[in-house]
Structure 1
Amino acid sequence: MSFLFDPSILQDLGLDAALQAKDITTDPSPGGCQYLLRPLRSTDFDYLRLLKQLTVVGDISESDFECDTYFIVVLEDLPLRKLIGCATLLVELKMIHNRSKRGHIEDVVIDEAYRGKGLGKLLVSVLIEVGKLQGCYKISLDCDSDKVAFYERNGFKQETVSMCVRLSR
């Protein structure tokens, strides 16, 4: 079972108190916590079920992810052996700002049965800390208008207009 990134990154974030307050551990050995926060594994097919609560999901393989580019964290309900939350930090190397790194948060989702417990806020906080550890000069995200208040409560501010062009496949 290969992780998308080194699990020790999550253990080195200094978030032990915040995690323990939510009954979450980063240590996979049995310790009595309800939830395990860990990197996504290539065998986590349950991840796609969770993402389908957020958007349409296509085919994804382990080779689609580059090392040190995607930091996908998952929350697992240990007794049920079920993924209940996930979030992604994409780290982009910029040619501006002296080849610095910019983070982009995507695909934050908590299983419908577990919402309202502060777990989404926790995942966003974890990704912010991972971004700091990776040397990102800023972290941004795009969200639907009904999610703006959630992200503002988590330290994000509206700064720019986001635009896109949809490409047919």
Structure 2
Amino acid sequence: MTVDTYLFDNEALISPQVQASLPQGYSIRPLGAQDYDRGHLQVLGVLTDVGHHTHQDWLNQFYYMKKRNDTYFSLVIVDHASDRVVAVGTLLVERKFVHCNGKVGHIEDIAVSGDQQGKKLGLRMIEALQYIGAQNGCYKVILDCALKNVPFYEKCGFTQKEMQMAWYVPQGVSATEEEPLDRAHL
């Protein structure tokens, strides 16, 4: 059996209440270096387009995040019967100047495999990420979601606040090119 390397090693960051609330045969843990083969990207594919990753591309991203293990907290829920990742989620911890150098947790990329939905795995993932935010001293944990998902996140203790905005970088624009923004319409 191969020993896995995890994104972070602090077991105290995994909520014992969440672990105990999972269905029998399931566990929650940090993302592991072997999770590419356990279907990590396939679960994320339920949420959005993940693009094409080679195994090495995925490992490069994993080890980049691992070097910053005070910022990236990606979790997976594993079904032990199949040894497959069935749910994923990430908390990014942003360090700020406001709130006396406070920290904000950003929940990202919550996804549950289609054949695993209805088992409250998404709820458990959110609870686990909230716990990590609290353990890291975040003064708030926030997320963006589709309007259709608002009722779910309200059940998780979130409230609607303000409005999300997005600006997508135009295709073909690199960091070295400077393309003036068309602000004539403002």
Q: Give the TM-score of the pair, scaled to structure 1.
A: 0.86
Q: Deviations over 1:130-162 (max 9, x none)?
A: 100000000000001110000011110011111
Does the alignment pair 1:41 with 2:32? yes
Does the alignment pair 1:124 with 2:126? yes
- In the alignment, what sits opposite 2:7? 4
Q: Deviations over 1:68-111 (max 9, x none)?
A: 11111100000111100011101000111111110010111111
Q: How does 1:31-110 map to 2 (within 5 A)?
A: 33-45=24-36, 46-58=39-51, 59=53, 60=58, 61-65=61-65, 66-110=68-112
Query: What letter matches 1:126 in structure 2?
Result: A
- In the alignment, what sits opposite 2:19? 19
Q: Distance in 2 between matches of 1:105 and 1:4?
A: 16
Structure 1 residue 118: deviation in Å?
Answer: 1.0
Q: Distance in 2 between matches of 1:139 and 1:39?
A: 19
2:153 alignment partner, one of 139, 144, 151:
151
Aligned residues: 157
- In the alignment, what sits opposite 1:165? 167
Higher CA-based Rg: 2
Q: Residue 21 of structure 2 contacts residue 124 of structure 2 at CA under 8 Å; is this kept in 1? A: no
Q: Deviations over 1:5-62 (max 9, x none)?
A: 1241344x341xx533433xxxxxxxxx411211001231121111011111144422
Identity of aligned residues (%): 35
Q: Residue 130 of structure 2 contacts residue 141 of structure 2 at CA under 8 Å; is this kept in 1? A: yes
Please provide the CA RMSD for this pair. Answer: 1.6
Q: Deviations over 1:110-135 (max 9, x none)?
A: 11111011111111011111100000
Query: What letter matches 1:81 in structure 2?
Result: D
Which consecutive residues of structure 1, in runs of 5 or more, have no partner in the other structure?
24-32
